[in-house]
Structure 1
């Protein structure tokens, strides 16, 4: 049995379908708080209904709030040791929103994670616990790397040892994280500590841009999906800072969930940590993404530039995947940035353009 939080969101729903397809009974927890964060356009209720219709009795949904310790404990108590996989994707995911309400952000991201870890300790301590962390745990330390300005992107100095991307041993200290980054780092450390202190099978996947065509992309979160939507619909788009040359690596939700499965199939105890993203195979600058979106949509984009860079934001972030690939050599990326954006347009164009 798998228990998945944020089950109606992008990664959560991908995991629900994937593991249900493998024969798992899946318990999902999601209270559609994304609607609270981002308004009606951010709601994932449609995805919950799709999962319930598609999967029938193999999927059981709870509209519980992970901030409610008693509610979380009751769910775990009901299923007990039958739970052998926990995938925790529920989160408040936005830098900007976290600054508006740091208490709610911390309660969701840090305290909610603690409630889940403690429920696991009490009711199913042999389960595998997979946590979707973030590259924002490194704060703005990536911006201190020697970067070279190119025509359309920032790029790392080719002589630097991080040429293949940023590894797990980059320091998380002495930097600005944003309040979102701080709450996620708190959760990340808790997941590690439960693995180390109690010798549990816990893992933190520090993600780059995790995306896919079912993401409810909004301006404050889900930039590739939102950018593609703007290109298709003619909605004006705003670039924030760094001349639009900031670089992100992008990974498809299906490849993310396949990484979860690889760890579940051969778990490691002691609080493992992996950076997970598109790496050198799938990365893009904002200016490059705009050009790609224009090509795919066939529409020129209306965009403007704001010189106000988001605090704690990265100028260049490419994931070094070598540690995860060394531990799980059968896993590999199956999507690149072009294929990801083409799929977004193909799958969503009709819905985006509907009156």
Structure 2
């Protein structure tokens, strides 16, 4: 396959690129290297692919229809993996217009370019945030998802609805994958596990919001790329699928795992819950298992240890 991968220079995108190239696919990576976090990190992510003849990096924005039309015309991509998005729940509360412009208008721009080019296959990244503070756990794809708690969540749900419209009207095969808090080597520096690890290892306090009982269903990066690859191979009609670890952990217990993996004690600065945050996430992955054969394999304790070991190596903190 020849795949247009949006957001391909990011954390998930660069891990996925490695897998796709190893499988023999051609990857056209489109990324605007925005400044949500240091673009140097993204350039480092993709440097490893620069000599691969099946890889091409294009710096550009998903809202640029002229560019998208040219990419489809020039490179003949047959499948789109759409990971590009403005990320982050809390920042979206401060700038909702930007989040809707990128995550909704950007998705619409891609769908329209696909329609004009006759491309009908897409795997799209959605988010567990669309469930809001659902009372019933675990979260299932049939839940209403009509009470988002942040502009980010609302923008991701809106993108799912757009995808369904293009399936219904134009016969697109689209799978929307609801990712549950992705972590692992190379993850974004502002994410909790990355921040906590850095600060604990350097003897700095970490800020925890709430009382420590909030829980997240963390998903190791290898399980996420496994789910995307499975979805690509099983594109048929319209699907919404949870891609998660299906094993939530409380904030307190997460910090304990990081303490154990680092051998350090965390200094904690407790703060009130933040607007837009949810109490818990918990993925029911039975539908993804049935439809595409997805099954998470990395437990949170294993994943935290892998991440901490990677972090130490990267920052030369390994003790003799």
TM-score band by shorter chain is over 0.9
Following TM superposition, by how much is the alpha carbon of 1:41 offset from its aligned partner in structure 2, in angstroms?
A: 8.2
Q: 1:134 aligns with which of 127, 131, 144?
A: 127
Aligned: 1:167 with 2:140: yes
* 1:33-78, Cα deviation, whole Å (9 max, x unpaired): 1xx223x38842211223325xx22210001011222122211221
Counterparts of 2:195 and 2:42 in 1: how far apart (Å)? 15
Aligned partners of 1:30 and 1:3: how far apart in 2? 11
Q: How does 1:103-142 map to 2 (within 5 A)?
A: 103-126=97-120, 128-140=121-133, 142=134
Aligned 8 A contact 1:255 1:335 in 2: yes
**Per-residue deviation at 1:196?**
2.4
Q: Secondary structure at the match of 1:205?
A: strand
Provide the C-alpha distance between the structure 2 equivalents of 1:294 and 1:124, rounded to a whole number of angstroms. Answer: 52
* Cα distance, 1:176 vs structure 2: 4.1
**Alpha-carbon separation, structure 1, partners of 2:65 and 2:97:** 16
1:95 maps to 89
Give the number of the structure whose residues are more often helix, by fraction.
1
Cα distance in 2 for residues equivalent to 1:193 and 1:41 = 34
1:224 aligns with: 193
Instruction: Single out whichever of 177-186 and 43-52 deviates more from structure 2.
Output: 43-52
2:224 paired residue number: 256
302 and 337 in structure 1: CA distance in 2 versus 1, 3 angstrom threshold: same
**CA, structure 1 residues 124+303, in 2 after alignment: closer, same or farther (shift >3 Å)?**
farther
**Unaligned segments of structure 1, at least 5 residues:** 146-161
Query: Quick one: structure 1 residues 234 and 50, their matched pair in 2 at CA, closer, same or farther if it must change by over 3 Å?
Result: farther
* Counterpart in the other structure of 1:57: 53
Q: CA deviation at 1:84?
A: 2.4
Deviation, 1:177, is 2.4
Q: Could you say which residue in structure 2 is the equivalent of 1:9?
A: 10
Pair 1:62–1:237, CA change in 2 (3 A)? same
Tell me the alpha carbon deviations over residues 105-163 of structure 1, each in whole angstroms, 9 at most, x when there is no partner.
1111111111111111111424x2011100111223x2x44xxxxxxxxxxxxxxxx4x
Q: Which runs of 5+ in 2 are unaligned?
A: none
Alpha-carbon distance in 2 for matches of 1:296, 1:189: 41
Where does 1:1-355 land on structure 2 (aligned, <5 Å)?
A: 1-33=2-34, 36-38=35-37, 40=38, 43-53=41-51, 56-80=52-76, 83-126=77-120, 128-140=121-133, 142=134, 144-145=135-136, 162=137, 165-173=138-146, 175-218=147-190, 222-241=191-210, 243-269=211-237, 271-280=238-247, 283-307=248-272, 309-329=273-293, 331-352=294-315
Whole-angstrom CA distance in 1 between matches of 2:206 and 2:168: 44
CA shift at 1:259, angstroms?
A: 1.5
> How far did residue 353 of structure 1 move?
5.6
Deviations 1:69-111 (A, max 9, x none): 212221122123xx22211111111122222222221111111
The alignment yields a C-alpha RMSD, in angstroms, of: 1.8
CA distance in 1, matches of 2:259, 2:44: 28
Length-normalised TM-score, structure 2: 0.93
1:172-216 per-position Cα deviation (integer Å, ceiling 9, x unaligned): 22x242111111111121112212222211011111111221112
